[in-house]
């Protein structure tokens, strides 16, 4: 990262209300988060879009969601809802401080709570500078890699805090999953931040830090705090969270090298505490719940006698049923999961669909077979179709199946998911360190195979970003869109073309995309993204058919893959794993069922 992005006049950062308005001298500790990370009325999509679109495209969001800035307040002016991270900092602090010393407010209300008495302003942030997977890449395609909408609002929040007339009296502490971005870009001074905390607010070191700040002591710029190892040590919000986010698990266990959350201990949180937090959300006016997890399928199977990658069907069905049947819960949205469990236990997927579809706010009219066209769309990591690359960066991603079978696991898993109206968003990493043209070709093969089989996932390619603290932290892949090879561009554009499939069921859809994308290329994208972008964009626009582009030698159209069926995948497992499979899914190897293959053939008269 180099210096801050240049802002257009229209989008200049203007600190808001820096004058003193509070009668009580302000709160001792004021908690906040960027507005764009706190809003919840338009569903997940708005935040994801604001993380990815550059600020100059804010008008698109304003037109689609004209009321997105209208947030709700408690009678005292504090925020009615805040991201779960803020709520946990609040809960952690309330173990030591009185409730009238601590407040969580929206950025525009800071002037009401920051006063001469304030000693800490603590900011929780998910993605303040937009340098994560996916978020960075789309803004860079459109031209301003460092200023996604969310990043603009985060910077605006920091500018407001910096301009406070009481700034010398208080310390600014930042935490949350995006805190590392401040450390990595060394933007402390520019954003007026004293300390970044990496880790959870529950830990004693975090409380110690707040104590120091309140006493006016100097803070270290970076503090790494320990993650609790026991499930009992994790706190739960008893107020309303943005999108009704309630934690379900921490950690993952599949050990992908590029992953941050996997560095945390694998914990599944107690059902009674999850349910309390669900009810607290509903009590405070929330109608939507979403359980935060890296992989929902490990819940109920952590530290049991069964390996965590064989889901606990009964436990999951029980938990989700209770959530969606809680009076007041009108909507439920899935967050993250992995794909191998869909191959391991297709009946689990079916049972979850029966429970969850009626409360899903997501509708895919052209894809779903549900009577109301409802669908489920969790986020799943596909990352690469190259077995060579997968072995290097995520050798356990598909367990219990061998990573050698990764393309088959993806295709079989997606088949099961699609049959049950799950249409996941699947992330792909482009430009992994050491990625060769052959690796990209293999990923393209997988994408074309999905298309051939009529399978659907929203494919979200992003450029490799070495995330802080991961085992790939020091590695470098592609850093700018101009460095992408023609094949990498083709993969990205093919993914987006596939994503538009359900939107193309009108006569005008394809035409609009064709004209729009070529116009955009002529206007801006040609210079920005370099010559390797041109043919893949023409392929995306549909202006020249893929067949013709291949004939001209401009694109690679993927070769058919040989894929293992579920039965073959199950047969490839180690025999000691067969005991964890459910017979009601079928496909169990005959040896396991105690049937001699020859005997069964004879029985069937073969």
Report the residue from 140, 206, 338, 488 that binds ligand B12 according to the rule CB under 6 A: 206
Query: Total residues at the site for ligand SF4 (CB under 6 A)?
Result: 13
Q: Which residue do the tokens 């002591």 mark?
A: 217
Residue 132 interacts with ligand B12 (CB under 6 A): yes or no:
yes
- Tokens in use for 146? 């460092």
Binding mask 366-395 for ligand SF4 (x = CB under 6 A): ---------------x------------x-
N residues, the chain: 606
Ramachandran area for residue 242 (φ above 0: left; ψ -120 to 50: alpha; else beta): beta
Q: What is the DSSP letter of 284?
A: T
User: CA–CA separation, 147 vs 131, rounded Å?
Assistant: 10
Residue 478 interacts with ligand SF4 (CB under 6 A): yes or no:
no
Query: Total residues at the site for ligand B12 (CB under 6 A)?
Result: 44
Residue 256 interacts with ligand SF4 (CB under 6 A): yes or no:
yes
User: CA–CA separation, 556 vs 546, rounded Å?
Assistant: 9
Report the nearest approach of ligand B12 to the CB of residue 243 (Å). Answer: 5
The entry of ligand SF4, ligand B12, none that residue 262 binds, CB within 5 to 8 Å by partner kind:
ligand SF4
Stretch that binds ligand B12, among 173-181, 183-191, 432-440, 561-569 (CB under 6 A): 173-181
The residues near 512 (Cβ < 8 Å, ≥ 6 apart) are none
CA atoms within 13 A on the CB side of 289: 31
The gap from C-alpha 533 to its chain's centroid, in whole angstroms, comes to 27
Report the residue from 338, 384, 386, 490 that binds ligand SF4 according to the rule CB under 6 A: 338
Interactions with ligand B12, residue window 244-273 (CB under 6 A): 245, 247, 260-261
The residues near 394 (Cβ < 8 Å, ≥ 6 apart) are 254, 255, 256, 257, 258, 381, 383, 384, 403
- Exposed, middle or buried by CB within 10 Å (0-12, 13-18, 19+), for 534? middle
Closest to ligand B12 by CB, 384 vs 585, is 384
CA atoms within 13 A on the CB side of 237: 32
Q: How far is CA 492 from CA 425, 450, 505, 526, 554, in A?
A: 14, 15, 22, 16, 15
User: CA–CA separation, 406 vs 395, rounded Å?
Assistant: 9
Residue showing the smallest CB distance to ligand B12 in the complex: 175
The entry of ligand SF4, ligand B12, none that residue 256 binds, CB within 5 to 8 Å by partner kind:
ligand SF4
Report the residue from 11, 32, 78, 124 that binds ligand B12 according to the rule CB under 6 A: 124
Report the nearest approach of ligand SF4 to the CB of residue 394 (Å). Answer: 6
Report the residue from 112, 126, 254, 497 that binds ligand B12 according to the rule CB under 6 A: 126
Closest to ligand B12 by CB, 397 vs 441, is 397
Residue 351 interacts with ligand B12 (CB under 6 A): yes or no:
no
User: Which residues lie near ligand B12 (CB under 6 A)?
Assistant: 36-37, 44, 47-48, 50-52, 83-85, 88-89, 122, 124, 126-127, 132-135, 150, 173-178, 197, 200-202, 206, 242-243, 245, 247, 260-261, 292, 294, 335-336, 467
């Amino acid at each position: 990262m180099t210096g801050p992005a240049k802002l257009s006049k229209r989008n200049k950062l203007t600190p808001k209300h820096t004058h003193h308005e509070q009668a009580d001298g302000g709160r001792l500790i004021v908690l906040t988060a960027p507005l764009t990370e706190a809003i919840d009325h338009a569903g997940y999509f708005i935040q994801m879009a604001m993380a990815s679109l550059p600020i100059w495209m804010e008008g698109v969001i304003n037109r689609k969601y004209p009321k997105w800035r209208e947030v709700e307040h408690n009678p005292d002016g504090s925020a009615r809802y805040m991201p779960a991270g803020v709520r946990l900092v609040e809960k952690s602090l309330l173990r030591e401080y009185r409730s009238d010393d601590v407040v969580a407010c929206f950025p525009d209300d800071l002037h009401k709570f920051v006063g001469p008495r304030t000693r800490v302003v603590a900011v929780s942030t998910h993605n303040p500078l937009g340098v994560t997977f996916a978020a960075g890449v789309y803004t860079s395609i459109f031209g301003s890699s460092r200023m996604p909408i969310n990043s603009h609002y985060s910077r605006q929040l920091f500018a407001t805090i910096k301009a406070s007339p009481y700034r010398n009296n208080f310390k600014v502490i930042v935490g949350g999953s995006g805190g590392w971005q401040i450390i990595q870009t060394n933007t402390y001074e520019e954003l007026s931040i004293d300390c970044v905390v990496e880790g959870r607010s529950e830990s004693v070191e975090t409380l110690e830090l707040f104590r120091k700040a309140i006493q006016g002591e100097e803070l270290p710029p970076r503090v790494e705090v320990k993650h609790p190892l026991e499930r009992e040590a994790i706190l739960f919000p008893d107020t309303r969270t943005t999108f009704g986010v309630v934690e379900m698990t921490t950690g993952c266990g599949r050990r992908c090298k590029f992953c941050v959350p996997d560095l945390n201990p694998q914990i599944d949180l107690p059902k009674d505490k999850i349910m309390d937090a669900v009810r607290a959300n509903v009590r405070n006016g929330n109608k939507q719940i979403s359980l935060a997890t890296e992989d929902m399928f490990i819940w109920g199977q952590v530290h049991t006698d069964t390996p965590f990658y064989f889901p606990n069907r009964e436990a999951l069905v029980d938990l989700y049923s209770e959530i969606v049947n809680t009076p007041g819960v009108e909507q439920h949205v899935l967050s993250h999961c992995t794909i191998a469990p869909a191959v391991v236990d297709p009946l689990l997927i079916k049972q979850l669909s029966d429970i969850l579809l009626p409360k899903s706010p997501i509708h895919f009219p052209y894809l779903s077979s549900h009577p109301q066209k409802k669908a489920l769309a969790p986020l799943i990591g596909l990352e690469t179709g190259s077995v060579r690359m997968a072995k290097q960066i995520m050798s356990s991603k598909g367990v219990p199946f061998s990573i050698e079978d990764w393309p088959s696991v993806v295709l079989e898993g997606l088949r099961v998911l699609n049959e049950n109206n799950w249409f996941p968003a699947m992330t792909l990493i482009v430009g992994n360190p050491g990625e060769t043209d052959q690796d990209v070709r293999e990923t393209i093969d997988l994408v074309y195979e999905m298309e051939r089989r009529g399978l659907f996932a929203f494919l979200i390619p992003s450029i490799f970003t070495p995330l802080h603290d991961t085992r790939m932290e020091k590695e470098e892949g592609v850093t700018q869109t101009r460095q992408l090879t023609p094949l990498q561009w083709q993969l990205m554009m093919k993914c987006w073309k596939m994503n538009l499939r359900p939107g193309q069921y009108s006569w005008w859809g394809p035409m609009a995309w064709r004209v729009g994308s070529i116009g955009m290329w002529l206007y801006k994208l040609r210079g920005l993204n370099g010559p390797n972008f041109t043919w893949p964009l023409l392929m995306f626009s549909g202006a020249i058919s893929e067949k013709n582009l291949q004939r001209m030698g401009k694109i690679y159209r993927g070769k058919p893959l040989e894929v293992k069926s579920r039965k073959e995948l199950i047969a490839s497992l180690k025999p000691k794993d067969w005991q964890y499979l459910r017979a009601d899914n079928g496909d169990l190897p005959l040896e396991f069922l105690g049937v001699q293959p020859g005997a069964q053939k004879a029985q069937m008269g073969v």
